[in-house]
Structure 1
């Protein structure tokens, strides 16, 4: 089964990579203008995220949600916790109820297929890895990032050979199929909102394939009780 999954993933990656040639970082206004409404509301979204961190009985670690990701989630014994709100179209209603503003923004932004609050423990390192296919883009909005000892934002995203440090309220739209890794150099939890959004302007066949793939992931999420 694992070998079949790996073969399918490689095949899908080749299909997209042969047809889509875009840079690692894309223009938000051109490719995901809806992202600006999340950015404009970042202080209130941070308040909701901090309440979730304080009040949620248990926010699972990433590898507890997806055991296949243990290699990048659990390798150093420090937590990477994920509070799922939407998984490829499947809403997690109990979680969304704890974040009413975020729920409102997501329902006004149908191109955002998935939404997660990501909690990265102090000094956590996420090793280098790549996303599965280019049919989606990753939107990241940092909600609570503390400075490192040099006074710069303490969380580093290394993406395709370049370092990015997003301050509080800063956002970025990027292609996670490029090699990337993350460090939290600060002594505090880093909180970010992560959205998976539809890639715009794809050829019709790739758009249909993307819809099939994401719908399938959503069905699996619902079957596992996530939706």
Structure 2
């Protein structure tokens, strides 16, 4: 497998967004610090306690996998993550290999055309009011997402493996590392974690890895953090609508 150099357009985009990325990271650090002083829970969390609806997603993983594979048949039309969220160019366009995101809902903003192609997922999300975002994440062969941190702790990241390639030893070939702990998850397995802890992903295979990513409203926070989280979610929703993000395939 040979990686390609980022295109001139990608390189120019990365450079043009440097100042924006720095501002984004500065703001994210301030927000994380506010939460960190009030939350003391680990990186990986108990699913039964924090997101019991996960069992319904996991129970339907094969139907979700079929929907994801149908979507992936048009992979070239699915945007790369940095084409949707330019602030993430440093982790999405870092090595010339694709990380594509088929976004069906983002912070409560539904993208109806995309959601309509995945009726099983649409029904599950409709039954789970704490799910704010739902996307299929398609990681190209050889793609490495370098260590990074999410912006704030008011949401948790759900990660359901739908299509996992195997390495030469028959193990899952894509590794998710959260807070220094590597996870090689099988198809149908669900992990819930706080993505403000440093994490990275590495696909060492020659096949695409597909997972369902969910953003889940965090339960059990002090009232000041609940109010702050609501405000941040409203601001993000406004930003999505104002930006007019193009995600339909």
* Cα drift, residue 176 of structure 1: 0.6
Instruction: Work out whether residues 89 and 215 of structure 1, in 8 Å CA contact, stay in contact via their aligned partners in 2.
Output: no
Q: Distance in 1 between matches of 2:166 and 2:146?
A: 21
Counterpart of 2:129 in structure 1 is 110
Instruction: Work out whether residues 158 and 182 of structure 1, in 8 Å CA contact, stay in contact via their aligned partners in 2.
Output: yes
1:165 aligns with 2:196: no
**Residue by residue, what CA displacement relative to the aligned partner does 1:32-84 show, whole Å, maximum 9, x if unpaired?**
00111100000000000011111466100001111121111111111000000
* Cα drift, residue 7 of structure 1: 3.7
Q: Distance in 2 between matches of 1:133 and 1:171?
A: 21
Q: Which residue of the other structure, out of 220, 227, 235, is the alignment partner of 1:201? A: 220
Counterpart of 1:88 in structure 2 is 107
RMSD: 1.4
Counterpart of 1:69 in structure 2 is 88
Instruction: Work out whether residues 161 and 189 of structure 2, in 8 Å CA contact, stay in contact via their aligned partners in 1.
Output: yes
Q: Which residue of the other structure, out of 16, 22, 31, is the alignment partner of 1:12? A: 31
Q: Distance in 1 between matches of 2:186 and 2:23?
A: 41
Task: Give the length in aligned residue pairs.
Answer: 227
Task: Structure 1: state its 5+ residue gaps.
Answer: none
Bigger shift: 213-222 or 74-83? Answer: 213-222
Task: Structure 2: state its 5+ residue gaps.
Answer: 1-18
Q: Which residue of the other structure, out of 107, 119, 123, is the alignment partner of 2:142? A: 123
TM-score (norm 1): 0.96
TM-score (norm 2): 0.88
